[in-house]
Amino acid sequence: MRVVVTGGAGFIGSCLIHKLNREGIRDIIVVDKLGRSESWKNLVGKQFTEYLDKEALFDYLAKHKCDLILHMGACSSTTETDVSFLMENNYRYTQKLALLALKNKTQFLYASSGATYGDGSQGYSDANNNTPLLKPLNAYGYSKQIFDLWLLENGYDKKMTGFKFFNVFGPNEYHKGDMKSLIAKSYPNILKGQGMKLFKSYRKDYKDGEQKRDFIYIKDVLEVVWYFILHPKKTGIFNVGTGRAESWNDLAKAMFAAAGRKPEITYVDMPEVLKDKYQYFTLADTDKLRAAGYKKNFSGLNEAVKDYAGYLKEGKYL
């Protein structure tokens, strides 16, 4: 089996390579644009046959057949303001790759995002008839939304599979700077005996730190994607979250518990640029995922944070 993984040096992409290796798959084409990033460290110890810069992928696919494309590559910054870049990188590139996969009869799985749900006013259902109603709060979410819409409008959801990833955290996200999880940012400081900071709430219906997210551990994400690799006829766009909404306070307490310390939390002002783009609540509706036959349970927050803490303490990668 020959597999192309775009964004292969990134967080989810590199973890998927780890999963593929564990399942005995080594004929992997890693596609990324490393530049000066530290993401190359995510590839150390991984087994693959080729590395390509993302611009070289189409020439490669014109000459070589592959069985599966895992398209995880994208600009994932929710604060990116260059919309032209996002449209070209996240939408046009994905569209071009999807059409090539169709032409070559290659299984195509891609990363969408829970950011497409915006403020959640239309709910969090991944049903096809709900997708056109969604209103993302940032340009990143919009770049993912319009590809989902293109897929549905052309009936390609019957031939491809998309994943609306919610708040994914875990090993291999260390290079992501401001976009890495709060755990990756704050846990090293907690180990040093310091407290941690959470954003204040600017809505009366949410107390400070009680804004909620559907946090999902990367190891659970890998199991979901692997399930759809094994079941290529199960296509469509699926939420990938736990179906549980837990507060930032809950996450902070889990982190302090993993470090064996009492919680020490300070609430700080939210940057002005985030105030009108901030999601106060996310919760993946997992009915469609379960209806597709995925049966495994998701890790509890405390369990997942404790496991991740082991990686952070030792600076380990997946």
176, 212, 219, 253: the catalytic one is 176
Decide the pairing of beta strands 50-53 and 3-6.
Answer: unpaired
Which residues partner with 162 through β-bridges? 110, 237
Residue 131 counted as domain residue: yes
Residue 172 scores a pLDDT above 80 = yes
93, 110, 140, 278: the catalytic one is 140
Residue 259 counted as domain residue: no
Number of domains in the chain: 1
CA distance 185 to 17: 24
Average pLDDT on 232-241 reads 98
Q: Is the pTM of this model over 0.85?
A: yes
Question: pLDDT per residue over 189-231, tens digit each?
Answer: 999 999 999 999 999 999 999 999 999 999 999 999 999 999 9
Predicted pLDDT at 130: 97
Residue 80 scores a pLDDT above 90 = no
Average pLDDT on 59-67 reads 95
Residue 118 counted as domain residue: yes
Residue 241 scores a pLDDT above 90 = yes
- 140 catalytic residue (yes or no): yes
Residue 55 counted as domain residue: yes
pLDDT band at 274 (very low <50, low <70, confident <90, very high): confident
CATH of residue 11: 3.40.50.720
- 294 catalytic residue (yes or no): no
What is the span of the domain harbouring residue 293? Answer: 3-169+214-244+282-299
